[in-house]
Amino acid sequence: MTQDAMKTQDAMKTQDTMKSQDTIHLSDANFSAEISKANAGPILVDFWATWCGPCRMVAPILDKLAAEMKGKARIGKLDVDANPATAAQFGIQSIPTLLVFKDGKQVEQMVGARSREEISQMLTRHLG
């Protein structure tokens, strides 16, 4: 297999791990509306990029949490390369960066790949 073919295959795998039916695809266009939704509970936003190895490690954890927290909290993902304005607005310099928003306001931040337990605890603190 050529290196180009391997890169294409890796990119396809990355795209598959970065999407889930229970996560919300965020963009510069819909970010404010999604984090400000009333009565939707807190939203954890994953600032990531397709080329980011640690982001790929966190993606399946977030996908599982999105399914488990459905109805209580939401998980959103924002590709920093495709949506630089929002990333800049929040001063994102390292990825993955996880921000929790409640009632439209940022309430917590975590930088770097973390364990499922750490991420779950961070989100759970803001339920209710």
Q: What are 103-106's contacts with CB under 8 Å, separation 24+? A: 103/36, 103/38, 104/32, 104/35, 104/36
Q: Is 111 a catalytic residue?
A: no
Q: Is 52 a catalytic residue?
A: yes
Task: Show the CA angle centred on residue 19, arms to residues 96 and 4, nearest 5°.
Answer: 80
pLDDT in tens, the chain (128 residues): 545 444 444 444 444 444 568 999 999 999 999 999 988 899 999 999 999 999 999 999 999 999 999 999 999 999 999 999 999 999 999 999 999 999 999 999 999 999 999 999 999 999 97
The DSSP bridge pattern shows strands 97-102 and 74-79 to be unpaired
Q: Which domains does the chain have, with CATH numbers?
A: 22-124 (3.40.30.10)
Query: Position 65: which residue type?
Result: L
Q: Of 43, 55, 61, 98, which residue is the catalytic one?
A: 55
pLDDT at residue 20 in the model:
66
Q: Of 52, 78, 80, 87, which residue is the catalytic one?
A: 52
Distance separating alpha carbons of residues 87 and 103, to the nearest angstrom: 19
| For residue 96, cis peptide bond before it (omega within 30 degrees of 0) | yes
